[in-house]
């Protein structure tokens, strides 16, 4: 089974983005323009599907990890 995940974009070069995937840097394919570092994208199978708002991304991740978005640790807060 595969699911889509919201992931934060760290950098963009052409049609490739480096993202923060669970604390690890990964490269994904960007099939569309207008994505900038700091935005969140919904990803599936190594490609971005669309840009999502940060609050929506954090709420989705919270559901997947059983955490409330406001329960982020100070280390997580400093990354933003």
What gap in Å lies between CA 16 and CA 2, rounded to an integer? 21
pLDDT value of position 1: 65
Q: What is the pLDDT of residues 8-25, one digit of tens each?
A: 999 999 999 999 988 899
State the pTM of this model. Answer: 0.77
pLDDT value of position 72: 60
Residue where the block lists tokens 């490269």: 27
Q: What is the pLDDT of residues 38-60, one digit of tens each?
A: 999 999 999 999 999 999 999 99
Measure the N-to-C terminal CA separation of the chain; round to a whole number of Å: 30
Residue where the block lists tokens 């490609």: 47
DSSP characters for 28-59? EE--SS---TT-EEEEETTEEEEEE-HHHHHH
Write down all domains in the chain, each with its CATH number in brackets. 5-79 (2.30.30.140)
């Amino acid at each position: 089974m595969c699911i889509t995940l919201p992931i934060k974009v760290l950098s963009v070069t052409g049609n490739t983005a480096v993202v923060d995937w669970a604390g690890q840097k990964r490269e994904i394919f960007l099939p569309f323009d207008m994505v900038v570092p700091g935005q969140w994208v919904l990803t599936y199978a190594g490609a971005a599907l669309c840009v999502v708002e940060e609050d929506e991304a954090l709420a989705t991740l919270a559901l997947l990890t059983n955490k409330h978005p406001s329960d982020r640790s100070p280390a997580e807060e400093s990354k933003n």
